[in-house]
Chain A
Amino acid sequence: MEGVYGNDFGTDQQPDPDRAAPDEAAFAALLAGEGRVEPRDDMPEAYRKTLIRQIAQHAHSEIIGMQPEGNWISRAPSLRRKAILMAKVQDEAGHGLYLYAAAETLGVDRADLVDQLHSGRQKYSSIFNYPTLTWADVGAIGWLVDGAAITNQVPLCRCSYGPYARAMVRVCKEESFHQRQGFEILYTLSHGTPEQKAMAQDAVNRYWWPSLMMFGPPDDDSPNSARSMAWGIKRFSNDDLRQRFVDMTVPQSEALGLGLPDPEIRWNDERGHYDYGEIDFTELFEVIKGNGPCNAERMAHKRRAYDEGAWVRTAAEAYAAKRARATESVA
């Protein structure tokens, strides 16, 4: 399974037997030459289905991902922090929209994808099913969750599917401020009062392991990874990306003056990487199954926001129709 923003282990889609088989050899040759696949190209049905599922899940994650941080906009400790947080959450909405647009180039409707999210048939990243208990959590999300997302997303800028890769280029440009603002929040708290520092440490303790799980299951338990790699959708394995994230993050935690909740983290001279402890994936599976702390709340809020906005969409449509009629009658 792909370890993207939404790394969850959805069931694999079966190829559609009604679709004419494309020229597999030509497709393989295109990928072998690092060529890019564009929307109306012939492509294997399984490639198209995999992309739709992955991009949709990624889009849903950006949209649901607004909730944990959105909870703190009205309670941000200063006007500066509030303005920054609003800009960040607005960016995430934008990321969701870029991604829905990319998915639509594969012949699906955004409305259908949103329906599938609302009915639970498509998933979003489990990381957003954890609560934001304190202001420091906003810092931990920016630093760790956006940091892990960036690690996943940078290689996707070279994804074989053009529209997805282009959306990722835009997303990655915008992400760098997300991670920095989170780091800055934690740095400020860590250099504040003992209580503030303890709050920062607590947030890091709670978000560290879930952030590592964002990269998906270990490589030997990730049956579809090889195929995604062959297709040029995925460029590095889950464990490689996870290691890259750990290697970047450990020195940053030292700069923050905060510990990481894993006694096994230490530099391994032989490997040239940081070692880290074993991840308890049973927790991740529980959260994916719907038993995380906030699964029900996130979905209820999403559906409510959607339903409460219905009148705006209807009004805008009615206005557009009225204007179109007026223009017609003039012409």
Chain B
Amino acid sequence: MSTRRDWPLWEVFVRARRGLSHVHAGSLHAPDAEMALRNARDLYTRRGEGVSIWVVKASDIEASTPDERDPFFDPAADKIYRHPTFYDVPEGVQHL
């Protein structure tokens, strides 16, 4: 076991430029949110890769489990009528 406890783990999300969503860039350890932001800037945007950063404590993230990956997403699997390709369109009809 380790001789010391590490700082909490933070997940880092970076918006590459205005008009785009924040995207997960990676993670880092930091003692608090302010330091997490500063470290994220130095670690993930050294070449101007971002205009905005979110940091979220990894322990605050709730995730679906890999075990139930299939059943959890089952409800979407049999509803092919949610896709436009499901529908027949008569020949020659445009802009539909």
Main secondary structure of the interface of A (DSSP, over half): helix
Quick check: is A292 within 8 A (CB to CB) of the other chain? no
Beta-carbon contact of B43 and A94 below 8 Å:
yes
- Given A40-B65, A91-B46, A101-B26, is A317 in contact with B3 using a C-beta cutoff of 8 Å? no
Beta-carbon contact of A111 and B46 below 8 Å:
no
Main secondary structure of the interface of B (DSSP, over half): loop
Beta-carbon contact of B2 and A112 below 8 Å:
yes
List, in ascending order, chain B residues with CB within 8 A of A41's CB.
66
Complex Cα–Cα for A104 and B7 (A): 13
Quick check: is B4 within 8 A (CB to CB) of the other chain? yes
- B43 → chain A closest CB, angstroms: 6
Beta-carbon contact of B66 and A110 below 8 Å:
no
Quick check: is A38 within 8 A (CB to CB) of the other chain? yes
What residue in chain A is nearest B3 (Cβ atoms)?
A: A115
Quick check: is B56 within 8 A (CB to CB) of the other chain? no
Which 3 residue pairs across A and B have the least CB separation, nearest first?
A320-B32, A111-B2, A320-B31
Q: Give 20 pairs: A residue, B residue, CB < 8 Å, sorted on A.
A: A38-B66, A42-B66, A87-B46, A94-B43, A94-B46, A97-B28, A97-B43, A98-B26, A101-B27, A104-B9, A109-B2, A109-B6, A111-B2, A111-B3, A111-B5, A115-B2, A115-B3, A313-B31, A316-B31, A320-B35
Spell out B's residues near A (CB within 8 Å). 1-7, 9, 26-29, 31-32, 35, 42-43, 46-47, 63, 65-66
